[in-house]
Structure 1
């Protein structure tokens, strides 16, 4: 499968839901990357404190799994704000 960088202006080519995008400014692209990096760092910390493999989707407890879900949701919503 072809991968497209989330900050690329070509990000619309594999999206079946949102049919029109606006071009992001360079500042917005940086904000989006920063938010995603923060989310990835937080998720890595969840794996660290649970003693699980960071390449796995499995967490040491239900609480850490829920924390992961909420981090993913927070990142998605922040990115939606930036890109809308």
Structure 2
């Protein structure tokens, strides 16, 4: 499968829903990368707290799973704000 970096100007190549994007500034690309990195670090911490494998998709409890879901949602919404 071909992948496209989320900060690439070619990120629309495999997107069937949003048909037009504006070109992001370098600062916006950096913000988007920072937000995603923070989300990944937080999810990693959830696995650390629960003693679960970060490469796996299972967390130690429903509460940690909900925390991950909300973290993913927060990252998505922040990225949508940056890219709007």
Runs of 5+ consecutive residues of structure 1 not aligned to the other structure: none
Give the length in aligned residue pairs: 84
Name the TM-score, length of structure 1 as normaliser. Answer: 0.99
RMSD: 0.2
Gaps of 5+ in 2: none
Cα distance in 1, alignment partners of residues 66 and 57 from structure 2: 12
Q: Aligned residue for 1:64?
A: 64
TM superposition score normalised by structure 2: 0.99
- Bigger helix fraction: 1
1:29 aligns with 2:29: yes
Q: Distance in 1 between matches of 2:56 and 2:66?
A: 15
Q: State the 4+ residue runs in structure 1 displaced beyond 3 angstroms.
A: none
